[in-house]
Structure 1
Amino acid sequence: MTHLRSKRLPRFAGRTAAAVLGLVAALGLGAIGEAKADAPSDSVGRWSDRAHGFASLAGGTTGGAGGKVVTVTDQAALAKYAAAPEPYVIRVQGAITAQPFGANITVASDKTIVGVGTGGELVQGEFHLEPGTHNVVIRNMTIRDSAIEGNWDCKDTDFDGIQMDSVHHVWVDHNRFSNICDGQLDVRKDSEYVTVSYNRFENNNKTFGLGWTTNVRTQITVDHNLFAHTKQRNPSIDNAAYAHLYNNYLTAQTDPGDPVWTYGNWSRGRTKMVIENSYYRDVQHPYQADTTAELVQRGSILKNTTGRHDEWGAAFEPRDFYDYRLDPAAAVPALVTRFSGPQKNIGVTLHVPGDYPTVQSAVDAVPDGNAVPVTIAVAPGTYREKVFIPANKPHIALQGTGRDRSDTVVVFDTPAAYGGSTGSATVRIAANDVTARNLTFSNDFDEAAHELNGEQALAMKTTGDRIVFEDVAFLGNQDTLMTDSPKLDVISRVYVRDSYIEGDVDFIYGRATTVIERSVIRALSRGSYSNNGYITAASTWTGNLYGFLITDSKIVSDAPAGTFHLGRPWHPGGEPAAVAQVLIRNTELPAAIKSSPWTDMSGFSWKDARFTEYRNFGPGAAVTGDRPQMSADQAREHTVAEYLRGADGWAPYARH
């Protein structure tokens, strides 16, 4: 956009994100706008989306990481992508009933299959991993109902839930298996580096077996699983080099009068098995071992158990291979009952770097028309790149994983002179329903080092609706943050909370309905003793009651007293129907704010715009004829909720 502004005077350059945020902290700004002390963890745990245990060793198990993300709702699409030679993250939405009954879905290497919410199901079918398959993740699925009524032993069928032969690096996590003819999970024929965690094994005869080989090669971790109303193989592990079972809950296997021999864990052949802090309730033969096998048990709790409780041999020490969190055995029933099986908050997380080398490559992997949330987890570091989230990729969350927002910076240095105002933006968000947290967005174009006609340099531009920025920093000079909409009479909404915004000329601008709450806004000095800049330049459509709301925030500045404007009305291209609406309320203002803080722009008078204040305070606050004040009655209709609600009742603030 074209600005009328005073000539820029010499000013400091070469700022860094850390330096500026350090300055903010040094100002003693309290809770408003501070970076969080804690950030999401990617450590081993119930909510980690990285494989742990043996599946994490020897290169790890990442599934379809680095490949495209697809969503499937039918058998043909599931079979197509699961068997493809390329890596894929395959999201299963809803129940898919396999035809014919007991049909196999062949899963090739480098695949992640994950249920959407708690509704992803494979009914009367099997996921089948053929010899040589490797690097597969199956998560958050329900696999059920391939049992044949009256055929309790299933010896004449081979309808497993998941079957794998001679594979390596497989993670089976947070699934529910129920009512399957033959094995719910069969790990066979020298399969290696397998982890089975947080699954529910229910209502079955032959549940979970490992072996079908005389070799002793398999390494397997089995943790935090529920085995309920399952007769045999919970699990039965034959000729495994190392089997580590911990924090599992086995219950309701005793059934007086049932002719089937029921048992819990069995260390068979030459298996070395370690059982830790598990819980056995109403189980016959809770753990047993062949004379040729070894079994070490420590810390488990047994309630109403009968039969064999075998322990002999030294087995091995799991911590010689990997670290893990061992929960108290007494907590296992409640913990496993709550957290095992599909979980609504397990989704698809794409890691940068690791899964994808850049933020943009992770965005590109999200499917067009995306309908369910995808998180792009960005590790601490500086990412010098431009990022564009197009309109056809909604429901993306950009999440910095450092302790502070300054740890993870997305930055570029394009000015408007080289790409236009929009083209200068480091990050552009055209999609709806996008969230960014715990990140810094910067345009570090050095104005002092260049004399250009077009010094505007955006850190962020949005045109999508329902955009949330939380614990985010926007760094720049002129035009730092533009919140816009696709066209004049389309209303887009943006919510900024607990964040930091800096700049000098029109550095918060556009026509989107924008709420900035509990944040710090820093008005940078350009070295002038008369006019150092303008905080806002709204271009609200005249048919929109709500433009910009800055509330419960703090404006700070190193500019001389009385040299900064609160804003001016921007009419792009002279558009008369763009009539700025800005309310600044309950916000601390610095001495740098002018006594007459609103000013004209491009021939349009500020007095024709909708500029108001309400209950501001600090050395820059005043009530004069040049500072319109909103009445208490009006203020009740100009709240965060009213600005953002819209026809769909959007309330992003309600989570706090």
Structure 2
Amino acid sequence: MRPGHGRVAAAVLGLVASLGLGAVGEASAAPAATTAPTADRWTDRPHGFASLAGGTTGGAGGKVVTVTDQASLAKYAAAEEPYVIRVKGSIPVEPFGSDIVVGSDKTIIGVGDTGEIVHGELHLNPGTSNVIIRNLTIRDSYVEGDWDGKSTDFDAIQMDSVDHVWIDHNRFTHMGDGLLDIRKDSQYVTVSYNQFTHHNKAFGIGWTTDVKTQITIDHNWFTGTKQRNPSADNCAYAHLYNNYLSAQVADGDPVWTYGNWSRGRTRMVIENSYYDGVRHPYQADATAELVQRGSVLRNTSGRHDTWGTAFDPRDFYDYRLDPAAAVPALVQRFSGPQKRIGDSVVLHVPAHYPTVQAAVDAVPDGNDVLVTIAVAPGTYRAKVYVPASKPNLVLQGTGRHRSDTVIVHDTPAEYGGSTGSATVRIAANDVTARNLTFSNDFDEAAVELKGEQALAMKTTGDRIVFENTAFLGNQDTLMTDSPKLTTASRVYIRDSYIEGDVDFIYGRATTVIERSVIRALSRGSTTNNGYITAASTWKDNPYGFLITRSKVVSDAPAGSFHLGRPWHPGGEPDAIAQVLIRDTELPAAIKAAPWTDMSGFSWKDARFSEYRNVGPGAAVTADRPQLSDAEARSYTVARYLNGSDGWAPYDRH
């Protein structure tokens, strides 16, 4: 469930109760809300009939593209290969009322909540399959004076003889004929959380003598419409639940003003919907079947037909049934385009992309929307590179624990240098990794090589976040760097685990490690097992490494591990290391004089310090510079990370 959704639902139900909606009109007794498992309101995967018979994935597995004009939209929508097509801003269609043909294996989704198609129709030709259309406004192909839609056929979406389609979180208004026409034996369709407004013929299903269509229609808002809300003709199964019909157009028509109509040989089930001021809220032909349960009817009139047994939707799928009294508030809030949906794209590994790198490669250069690469539990033995051209990514392990999802390789620096050895490299800005383990399992003890560096992770991008991640290796496990000497990139690591032996946290990026565990591995020596840090902070950058509110653990003998040494890459004299370890527990393995020289550069010329550390490895001596209380106020997480742009990833939780 989406975080906070329980509180939102409770608040909505409280609002409903305070308004007395459950006690108004001809309310029938509503059953208790089901607890059957189902996706929440913000999932990127379809539910209902569109989830069956292999499911509906849209353009998953294809590249992500952003379109801002009709030509680009038409090109990608009709392409043979799969695409995730993001519609940014308003796209006017010419000539007025023209079709944009949508081929198989496509996702078309509005960016933010302002993506729109104006004066045109999305059209799915016979044989099209596997299409997702989400988070769009499609509007304004209405021809003045043609209220009955007799002179044009300008729908918002029309489909003939298609299968596996999900229409979700859209707004359809003021079109030339129907808003949504699902025709001629189309199968496995779900229509959810849409708004149908300002129109005569809202939503029709049928145009066939066969009885094949299976359709789920839930949480839609029909307001300012007259008929077809929907009209379902010869549907094998039509499941309507938690829909809201309000403000019906009143033009005096006694027959063709209605809510839901089960026509022909349709079997229709209506559950927990809400009808407010609707004439003929639900009706059925004598040849059809209609079962209604749990709905609220307020100020309704005319037909309320129910007969036959229809079918049991739970024989096909599980679903969440909201209380009917809550439907107006829920649907008004959650239907139609949602910024939260349009501001992000989710790419699933390996369900839709075989590797993490394949998912990264699908992200467009210059990416300006959050793309989450959701990695299923498993071990992925491969390297991953996120180039600088692909910012705004989240690498998200979907297992219960970070150890469930591991990205690992075994390349040492001997084969490609330190950069080439890295299992994962992140050169892009604004990348977050969560709930993952990054590992380089090169066995340094088993192979005689000149260089034993073997990185699990190297970053050069700015505003990089690691949450609940693990970094496993030996020498040079984690390198946080920047594109060039004088550029200060920032990295924030929280609630994580880092292990290694020699210089296993190193580089020149401004790096904060908070609330984490750092394990210093023994190499079998009684005197020197390694160095936790090797910073190479540029001289003009006051902030290098901060380890705070963390715990260092080690199986190394007492007094055999250094806190760090100053790294001057290539002998660069202006790389003046800055490291502060504060409010952190240190083990007995830490040396009494924990800082040491490197490559002829004295540690005393670096900027090494401690503050309020505890544990058997903590001490205050002449060899362990300490910050004063006044100085410590200038070396906080915020001071390290804020920069000129006010970046504050530590405020997210």
TM range (shorter): over 0.9
Aligned residue number for residue 338 of structure 2: 343
Show CA shifts across 1:36-65 (max 9, x none): xxxxxx952212211111111111111111
Pairing partner for 1:401 from 398, 401, 405: 398
Contact kept in structure 2, 1:589 and 1:621, CA below 8 Å: yes
Aligned residue number for residue 100 of structure 1: 95
Matches within 5 A, 1:218-367: 218-253=213-248, 255=250, 261-346=256-341, 347-367=344-364
How far residue 331 of structure 1 moved from its aligned partner, in angstroms, is 2.1
Show CA shifts across 1:105-141 (max 9, x none): 1101111101111121111111011111111110111
Aligned residue number for residue 459 of structure 2: 462
How far residue 150 of structure 1 moved from its aligned partner, in angstroms, is 3.2
Distance in 2 (alpha carbons) for counterparts of 1:68 and 1:465: 25
Pairing partner for 2:143 from 137, 142, 148: 148
How far residue 448 of structure 1 moved from its aligned partner, in angstroms, is 2.2
Is it true that 1:596 corresponds to 2:596 in the alignment?
A: no
Contact kept in structure 1, 2:38 and 2:320, CA below 8 Å: no
Contact kept in structure 1, 2:38 and 2:318, CA below 8 Å: no
How far residue 438 of structure 1 moved from its aligned partner, in angstroms, is 0.8
Counterpart AA for 2:570:
G
Contact kept in structure 2, 1:426 and 1:458, CA below 8 Å: yes
Secondary structure (helix, strand or coil) at the match of 1:362 reads helix
Show CA shifts across 1:536-566 (max 9, x none): 1000000111111111111111111111111
Contact kept in structure 1, 2:459 and 2:480, CA below 8 Å: yes
Distance in 1 (alpha carbons) for counterparts of 2:348 and 2:162: 25
How far residue 635 of structure 1 moved from its aligned partner, in angstroms, is 1.5
Contact kept in structure 1, 2:165 and 2:189, CA below 8 Å: yes
Pairing partner for 1:415 from 398, 412, 418: 412
Secondary structure (helix, strand or coil) at the match of 1:184 reads strand
Contact kept in structure 1, 2:379 and 2:408, CA below 8 Å: yes
Distance in 1 (alpha carbons) for counterparts of 2:232 and 2:195: 18
Secondary structure (helix, strand or coil) at the match of 2:523 reads coil
Judging changes above 3 Å, is the alpha-carbon distance between structure 1 residues 260 and 572 closer, same or farther for their aligned structure 2 residues?
A: farther
How far residue 452 of structure 1 moved from its aligned partner, in angstroms, is 1.7
Contact kept in structure 1, 2:136 and 2:169, CA below 8 Å: yes
Counterpart AA for 2:187:
E
Pairing partner for 2:629 from 629, 632, 636: 632
Contact kept in structure 2, 1:520 and 1:555, CA below 8 Å: yes
Secondary structure (helix, strand or coil) at the match of 1:122 reads strand
Contact kept in structure 1, 2:225 and 2:249, CA below 8 Å: no
Show CA shifts across 1:6-50 (max 9, x none): xxxxxxxxxxxxxxxxxxxxxxxxxxxxxxxxxxxx952212211
Counterpart AA for 2:269:
V
Distance in 1 (alpha carbons) for counterparts of 2:637 and 2:354: 38
Contact kept in structure 2, 1:231 and 1:260, CA below 8 Å: no
Contact kept in structure 2, 1:495 and 1:515, CA below 8 Å: yes
Aligned residue number for residue 167 of structure 2: 172
Secondary structure (helix, strand or coil) at the match of 2:346 reads strand
Counterpart AA for 1:179:
H
Contact kept in structure 2, 1:254 and 1:284, CA below 8 Å: no
Distance in 1 (alpha carbons) for counterparts of 2:249 and 2:113: 29
Of structures 1 and 2, the one scoring higher in RCO (CA 8 A, sep 6+) is 1
Distance in 2 (alpha carbons) for counterparts of 1:399 and 1:558: 31
Show CA shifts across 1:395-444 (max 9, x none): 11111111111111111111111221111100000111111111111111
Counterpart AA for 1:340:
S
Aligned residue number for residue 176 of structure 2: 181
Aligned residue number for residue 621 of structure 1: 618
Farther-moved stretch of structure 1 (91-100 vs 338-347): 338-347
Secondary structure (helix, strand or coil) at the match of 1:330 reads helix
Aligned residue number for residue 425 of structure 2: 428
Distance in 2 (alpha carbons) for counterparts of 1:581 and 1:150: 74
Aligned residue number for residue 6 of structure 1: none
Is it true that 1:522 corresponds to 2:519 in the alignment?
A: yes
Aligned residue number for residue 211 of structure 2: 216
How far residue 261 of structure 1 moved from its aligned partner, in angstroms, is 3.8
Counterpart AA for 1:450:
V
Distance in 2 (alpha carbons) for counterparts of 1:572 and 1:489: 13
Aligned residue number for residue 16 of structure 2: none
Distance in 1 (alpha carbons) for counterparts of 2:347 and 2:448: 41
Distance in 2 (alpha carbons) for counterparts of 1:181 and 1:619: 78
How far residue 364 of structure 1 moved from its aligned partner, in angstroms, is 0.7
Distance in 2 (alpha carbons) for counterparts of 1:260 and 1:462: 67
Contact kept in structure 2, 1:553 and 1:586, CA below 8 Å: yes
Counterpart AA for 1:66:
G
Judging changes above 3 Å, is the alpha-carbon distance between structure 1 residues 259 and 125 closer, same or farther for their aligned structure 2 residues?
A: farther
Question: How many residues of Structure 1 are paired with residues of Structure 2 in the alignment?
Answer: 615
Aligned residue number for residue 372 of structure 1: 369
How far residue 258 of structure 1 moved from its aligned partner, in angstroms, is 7.0
Aligned residue number for residue 8 of structure 2: none
RMSD over equivalenced CA pairs, Å: 1.4
Distance in 2 (alpha carbons) for counterparts of 1:490 and 1:245: 57
Secondary structure (helix, strand or coil) at the match of 1:569 reads coil
Judging changes above 3 Å, is the alpha-carbon distance between structure 1 residues 351 and 132 closer, same or farther for their aligned structure 2 residues?
A: same
Aligned residue number for residue 480 of structure 1: 477
Show CA shifts across 1:322-352 (max 9, x none): 1222222222222222211111221211100
Show CA shifts across 1:433-469 (max 9, x none): 1111111111111122222221111000000111111
Distance in 2 (alpha carbons) for counterparts of 1:46 and 1:252: 25
Judging changes above 3 Å, is the alpha-carbon distance between structure 1 residues 614 and 390 closer, same or farther for their aligned structure 2 residues?
A: same
Secondary structure (helix, strand or coil) at the match of 2:532 reads strand
Secondary structure (helix, strand or coil) at the match of 2:339 reads coil
Distance in 2 (alpha carbons) for counterparts of 1:467 and 1:106: 40
How far residue 367 of structure 1 moved from its aligned partner, in angstroms, is 0.9
Is it true that 1:648 corresponds to 2:634 in the alignment?
A: no
Secondary structure (helix, strand or coil) at the match of 1:447 reads coil
Distance in 1 (alpha carbons) for counterparts of 2:569 and 2:191: 58
Distance in 2 (alpha carbons) for counterparts of 1:258 and 1:525: 85
Counterpart AA for 1:117:
G
Distance in 1 (alpha carbons) for counterparts of 2:249 and 2:161: 33
Judging changes above 3 Å, is the alpha-carbon distance between structure 1 residues 280 and 400 closer, same or farther for their aligned structure 2 residues?
A: same
Contact kept in structure 2, 1:254 and 1:282, CA below 8 Å: no
Identity %: 80
Matches within 5 A, 1:568-583: 568-583=565-580
Distance in 2 (alpha carbons) for counterparts of 1:572 and 1:471: 30
Show CA shifts across 1:239-266 (max 9, x none): 1011111111111216375788421111
Pairing partner for 1:45 from 34, 40, 55: 40
Distance in 1 (alpha carbons) for counterparts of 2:375 and 2:210: 42
Counterpart AA for 1:533:
G
Counterpart AA for 1:112:
T
Judging changes above 3 Å, is the alpha-carbon distance between structure 1 residues 98 and 259 closer, same or farther for their aligned structure 2 residues?
A: farther
Distance in 2 (alpha carbons) for counterparts of 1:188 and 1:126: 15
How far residue 588 of structure 1 moved from its aligned partner, in angstroms, is 1.2
Q: Normalised by the size of structure 2, how large is the TM-score?
A: 0.92
Distance in 2 (alpha carbons) for counterparts of 1:323 and 1:260: 35
Contact kept in structure 1, 2:226 and 2:250, CA below 8 Å: no
Distance in 1 (alpha carbons) for counterparts of 2:173 and 2:624: 68
Contiguous gaps of at least 5 residues in structure 2: 1-36
How far residue 317 of structure 1 moved from its aligned partner, in angstroms, is 1.1
Distance in 1 (alpha carbons) for counterparts of 2:238 and 2:198: 24
Distance in 2 (alpha carbons) for counterparts of 1:314 and 1:379: 41
Counterpart AA for 1:485:
S
Judging changes above 3 Å, is the alpha-carbon distance between structure 1 residues 494 and 260 closer, same or farther for their aligned structure 2 residues?
A: farther
